[in-house]
Structure 1
């Protein structure tokens, strides 16, 4: 599955917590999500420097529309990148959770691991290790059908078991 197919698959399964997600689908999604966040953060930093917030980047994030130079309140008509970042994170919350849970299903683990490990200190490290694991071979209890990652051997192949 290539990058754009992975993003399209996650978008199609916006609230799809059933089934499995391959490593490539999961990691392409992570790359896309963090890539967009990185671009937004770079735009926020550039905007903060343009406004003279060389030390106070938080001021640029906290009040994207109105800011003060100390004596006067100025209205800013530039794009509110801090708000854009929050909107993007809100819009990708459910697909991120869904693809993460489907990735856990792909290795034979319950989605409750995703929920539980977010409340345990350093639980994200264990989730990261889970996400790196290979897919469980064959069918598992989370399958909707045959695993698309495993192709059946061709009947005339010297490697077929028939």
Structure 2
């Protein structure tokens, strides 16, 4: 929950770096929240309205944490667009997002693991 709130505090902050743990904990919480919102949509009978509002409200923070995660690897946020390549693009992006970040400072800032310690 703490990582989710940290990402929301940096709502549209595309600068800096995000650790793997921050990205994946946020993603895990997102999946759980989307499941809950989808169930509420079905129970209340609002079709996809609650889901659409939730997705719209969390679009920028999700994009921002993805960009910061790529920055931790020393890559530009534009690498998120590789997921548009059919079949291999999404797999390649998944591999990138799961890779360990650079341990030394890079052009996007210092190593976030050092800052957290």
TM-score category (smaller protein): 0.7 to 0.9
**Rg larger in 1 or in 2?**
1
Unaligned runs of 5+ in 2: none
**Pairwise CA distance, 1:97:** 0.4
**Pairwise CA distance, 1:135:** 1.4
More helix by share: 2
Find the counterpart in structure 2 of residue 112 from structure 1.
78
**Pairwise CA distance, 1:148:** 3.4
Query: Could you say if the C-alpha distance between residues 88 and 127 of structure 1 is closer, same or farther in structure 2, counting changes exceeding 3 Å?
Result: same
Q: Distance in 2 between matches of 1:22 and 1:108?
A: 12
Q: Distance in 2 between matches of 1:124 and 1:148?
A: 25
Within 5 Å, which residues of 2 pair with 1:1-162? 3-4=1-2, 6-45=3-42, 47=43, 78=44, 80=46, 82-114=48-80, 116-122=81-87, 123-143=89-109, 146-150=110-114
Query: What TM-score does the superposition give when structure 1 sets the normalisation length?
Result: 0.65
Task: Count the aligned residue pairs.
Answer: 114
Query: What TM-score does the superposition give when structure 2 sets the normalisation length?
Result: 0.87
Q: Distance in 2 between matches of 1:12 and 1:43?
A: 26
Q: Distance in 2 between matches of 1:42 and 1:80?
A: 10
**Pairwise CA distance, 1:81:** 5.3
Unaligned runs of 5+ in 1: 48-77, 152-162
Structure with more relative contact order (C-alpha pairs < 8 Å, separation 6 or more): 2
